[in-house]
Amino acid sequence: MTAATPVVRAESVDFSPPPLNLARRPALFLDLDGTLAPIMPRPDDVGPDARRADVLARLRERFEDRVAVVSGRSLPDLDHILGGGVTSIAAIHGLVRRTAGGGVVELQPHPGLDDARRILGELADCERGLLFEDKTLSVALHYRNAPACAEAVIEAAERLSQSTGLVLQLGDMVAELRTPGADKGSAVAAFLNEAPFVGATPIFVGDDLTDEDGFAAARRLGGFGVLAGKSRPTQADFRLDGPDAVLGWLERLARTAEVHA
């Protein structure tokens, strides 16, 4: 099986909240679902939000545009939810990346996606509550509204990963099969090689197993990770309780005089 398996701490730790007094020239890399927005029953239930838009705009000004959203969602979906307020975006776990200058780097779809699209779509048609999502470079089957189907969904996704070479990415009540070649950690590293992120200290904030690559990259490159949600084994160094706490921390960052932008 080809699977995304980031290394995590062996035990869950009740981490402290992240600091407000950050290193010089910080850069923020932020997940969306479960981090900047609450997890909803359906992905389409998440939409633009005035509080989130305001804090992101102030952070971009404060940090001289060193703010990126790094998410499993598609680029058009992120632009809709964020109201076009963030230019630097890594979508579909880094398979699509838009730079601060507006250029888009996108991998080619893996040929195995055709089989995965057909089989996962058929599963969704057969079981009420399952939600199929097609992101072009990946396909996902959400079972949040059909938790009894978890084992069957994961088993089907594992078989497809083995037969096609697609990367299996397990998330919060979702199994996703994606084109190999990038992850959230490699997206962070790529941003840090480009203006305005060059020389910045990376801070990655996320909630899910899909964010562990981002946490690991931030630590490796001299920064840290912030877990949003309940304590669990993780590569993050700090923790906040969830999206409301994340937005509160970001609002304080945006206004504190201790941050050196």
| Residues belonging to the active site | 31
Query: 92 — phi, psi (to 5°)?
Result: 50, 50
C-alpha to C-alpha distance for 252 and 10, rounded to whole angstroms: 32
CA-wise closest residue to 22 among 184, 180, 218, 153? 218
